């Protein structure tokens, strides 16, 4: 499989516990578009999760991460990134206090969680 994404490596998205990686290239493509606009690195904090790892981090049972359709990330322009993500067509969950964003390529949903 070839990943022609300028600013992401396939390994950025592998499961933190076992290295398994079933990330969907569609979401990497969408993140690359954001990255090109933001012009700062997007740091992936959680990409694909195997079921065991998803349970370990308290993820939802039907988490989009387990299906390889979700990525959590941060960057140095998090507020600007969150504004851009208002146009994200899938799921977008912003955690302003913790300065990270969950994006997925499921149906369109919006959340903001004000926790530190
Ligand atoms: Zn794992």
| Ligand 1 midpoint to CA 24 (Å) | 16
| Ligand 1 midpoint to CA 44 (Å) | 16
What percent of the chain has pLDDT above 90? Answer: 91
| Ligand 1 midpoint to CA 80 (Å) | 32
Per-residue pLDDT at 115 = 79
The 10s digit of each residue's pLDDT in 38-91 is 999 999 999 999 999 999 999 999 999 999 999 999 999 999 999 999 999 999
CATH of domain 11-112: 3.30.1380.10
| Ligand 1 midpoint to CA 98 (Å) | 24
Domain range list for the chain: 11-112
For residues 116 and 107, give the distance between their C-alpha atoms in angstroms, rounded to a whole number.
27
Antiparallel, parallel or unpaired: β 109-112 and 91-95 = parallel
pLDDT at 13 over 70: yes
Q: What is the dihedral of CA 35, 54, 3, 27, to 10 degrees?
A: -50
pLDDT at 116 over 80: no
pLDDT at 2 over 90: no
| Ligand 1 midpoint to CA 36 (Å) | 30
């Amino acid at each position: 499989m070839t990943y022609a994404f300028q600013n992401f490596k396939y390994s950025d998205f592998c499961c933190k516990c076992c290295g398994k990686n079933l990330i969907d290239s569609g979401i990497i493509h969408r993140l690359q578009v954001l990255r090109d606009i933001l012009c700062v690195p997007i740091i992936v904090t959680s990409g694909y999760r195997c079921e065991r790892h998803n349970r370990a981090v308290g993820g939802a049972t039907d988490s989009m991460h387990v299906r390889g359709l979700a990525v959590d990330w941060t960057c140095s322009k998090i507020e600007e990134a969150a504004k851009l993500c208002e146009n994200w067509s899938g799921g977008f969950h912003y955690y302003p206090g913790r300065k990270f964003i969950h994006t997925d390529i499921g149906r369109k949903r919006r959340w903001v969680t004000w926790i530190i």
